[in-house]
Structure 1
Amino acid sequence: MTGQARIVVWLLAVLCGLAAVGLGVIAAVADLDTAGQVASVAGSVAGLVGVALSCYTLLRPSAAGSHGTAATAAGARSVAAGGSIGRAVTGDRVTLTTPPAAPPATAGTSGSAQATGERGIAATGGIGEAITGDEARA
């Protein structure tokens, strides 16, 4: 989560806390009918804001495009990923007897990965295991 997103989340949490305290004060000072009406209006407004944020999230560009990660594979049986790859197998008649290796930990997945040529493998993150030969056993 980015620093700006953390600030927004904390501000929303504080705002919700203040709203709850405000409704409690209204219930204590006024009466329960007034507090119920105020809570009903506040809930309706919060629901509409939630719908608007959901629509915005669905319609905005993907997160992968906004972080500058790009992956392209241009060769026969090439593999490219905009993140990490546990296991990539491009060979024929490969026998797999072990579980996939975990990709090495990486600091981030920014940049681009381009796999060119036959059976090329590229990733913006780590690659745990790449099997490109025919009739290999792993």
Structure 2
Amino acid sequence: MVLLGLAALGLGIVATVADLDTSAQIATVAGSVGGLAAAAVSGYAFLRPPAASAAAPAATAVGTRSVAAGGSIGRAVTGDRSRLTASPVMPQAAGAPGSAQASGERGIAAAGEVGEAITGDDAHA
């Protein structure tokens, strides 16, 4: 912004000190340079690779038999021989998308809420 103000001030000084032909030539060159700069910035914005999207949160499960979710989890079961007879406990509210990382064996992570997590063997729920 400051640069544009200085350029306008300089053109104003040239217009008052020099004759109209010189002022017109300088204004033409300045307008051409400004147009080329705008075209270059526009081309850069069009051709650059897109930035990483924030709409796709990362949910990673690193450990053996781990579970991770970018939102909420109703029921996560990582144990062996589990018998599930009851309905899963659902989270109270849907979690906002976010990042979650489960590490370690049978780890469970969620960006939102976890309704029920069963990680042991021979569990009855």
- The two structures have a TM-score, normalised by structure 2, of 0.54
Taking the aligned partners of 1:90 and 1:104, their CA distance within structure 2 comes to: 22
SS in 1 for 2:105: coil
Aligned to 1:115, which of 68, 84, 102? Answer: 102
SS in 2 for 1:69: coil
Taking the aligned partners of 2:57 and 2:69, their CA distance within structure 1 comes to: 9
Taking the aligned partners of 2:67 and 2:91, their CA distance within structure 1 comes to: 15
Q: Which has the higher helix share?
A: 1
Counterpart for residue 80 of structure 1 = 68
1:66 Cα deviation after fit: 2.8
**Distance of aligned partners of 1:107 and 1:90 in 2 relative to their CA distance in 1, 3 Å threshold:** closer
Counterpart for residue 87 of structure 2 = 99
Which residues of structure 1 form unaligned runs of 5+? 1-59
Taking the aligned partners of 1:127 and 1:96, their CA distance within structure 2 comes to: 17
1:69 Cα deviation after fit: 1.7
1:68 Cα deviation after fit: 5.4
- What is the RMSD computed on CA atoms of the aligned residues? 2.1
1:106 Cα deviation after fit: 4.9
8 A Cα contact 1:104 1:127, kept in partner: no
Q: Between Structure 1 and Structure 2, whose CA radius of gyration is higher?
A: 2
1:67 Cα deviation after fit: 2.5
Aligned to 2:112, which of 103, 121, 125? Answer: 125
The number of residue pairs the alignment matches comes to 75
Taking the aligned partners of 2:111 and 2:57, their CA distance within structure 1 comes to: 7
SS in 2 for 1:66: coil
Taking the aligned partners of 1:128 and 1:88, their CA distance within structure 2 comes to: 8
SS in 1 for 2:58: strand
Taking the aligned partners of 1:117 and 1:104, their CA distance within structure 2 comes to: 27
8 A Cα contact 1:69 1:124, kept in partner: no
**Distance of aligned partners of 1:117 and 1:107 in 2 relative to their CA distance in 1, 3 Å threshold:** closer
8 A Cα contact 2:64 2:105, kept in partner: yes
Taking the aligned partners of 1:104 and 1:115, their CA distance within structure 2 comes to: 22
